Structure 1
Amino acid sequence: MGLKYANKINKIRTFALGLVFVGILVMYIGIFFRESQVIMIIAMLLGLLFVMSSTVVYFWIGMLSTRTIQVVCPNCGGATKMLGRVDACMHCSEPLTLDKSLEGKEFDEAFNKKQQEKSDPS
């Protein structure tokens, strides 16, 4: 059984969803400190900060999604968005690349980092 890879866009969306839940949880915990208004206000503001940061992350990934390349996965046939040189299918987690030099190599997200090698100017 092969490794499961996650699509970068889905990872970021999951992180943003987690921020919403953490924010709501922090605000809910603040309710238990009704006797101490300072602690309750701090918890409410901290929770609101988490929810607002989630909104920023959702907006950012939405803007980033507009710059992606849409491809058809050769494994499942589903349309998926690629972000970077290598990514995984949103539907079946199949490793994908558009770079011919990376075909056949073991999937590694480090391929998305800028190459330090200088190309030959000739």
Structure 2
Amino acid sequence: MFFRSSKINEFRLWGLLFTLAGMGLMILGTSGIVFWGQAGKIFAGIFMVIGMIAMLISVGVYFWAGMMSTSATMLTCPECSRQTKMLGKTDRCMYCKTILTLDPGQATQHPADTTQT
């Protein structure tokens, strides 16, 4: 994971970055009209199209994150005792960033064996 946060939050972050990049490109393209007049219209058109594509990608990323969020496993974090969502075999808590897993083979601490022989 890139920023060491939960996978769902990372997908939402990428959606936000695409939204901001698309809006920035559209504003940059509009500035071409202000500075170059008639010749800037082509510049503005190109950057408007590229910005719109980035905005559509962000809509797709947000939709994908929402669909994954609906099928995510809900569990209670052992550190902060809040309910969090988990994707895949390992993920991080959305609140305290604790590494979580449901796979006993990947767990770092195993529960103590309480059976006595």
Calculate the TM-score normalised by the size of structure 2: 0.83
Residue number in structure 2 paired with 1:61: 65
Contact 1:5-1:95 at 8 Å conserved across structures: no
Structure 1 runs, 4 residues or longer, greater than 4 Å off = none
CA contact (8 A) 1:23 1:47 kept: yes
Report whether the alignment pairs 1:37 with 2:36.
no
1:80-91 to structure 2, matched below 5 A, reads 80-91=84-95
- After TM superposition, give the deviation of residue 5 of structure 1 in Å: 2.7
Which residue number in structure 2 is paired with residue 10 of structure 1?
9
User: Counterpart in 2 of 1:19?
Assistant: 18
Query: 1:40 & 1:5 partners in 2: Cα distance?
Result: 37
Contact 1:26 1:43 in 2 (8 A): yes
User: SS at the partner of 1:76?
Assistant: coil
Greater Cα radius of gyration, structure 1 or 2: 2
Cα deviation per residue 1:33-89 (whole Å; 9 max; x = unaligned)? 112211100111111111111001101111111111000000001111000000000
Provide the secondary structure at the position in 2 that maps to 1:75. coil
Give me the CA root mean square deviation.
1.3
SS of aligned partner of 2:63: helix
Give ranges in structure 1 of 5+ residues lacking alignment. Answer: 106-122
Greater Cα offset, 44-53 or 79-88? 44-53
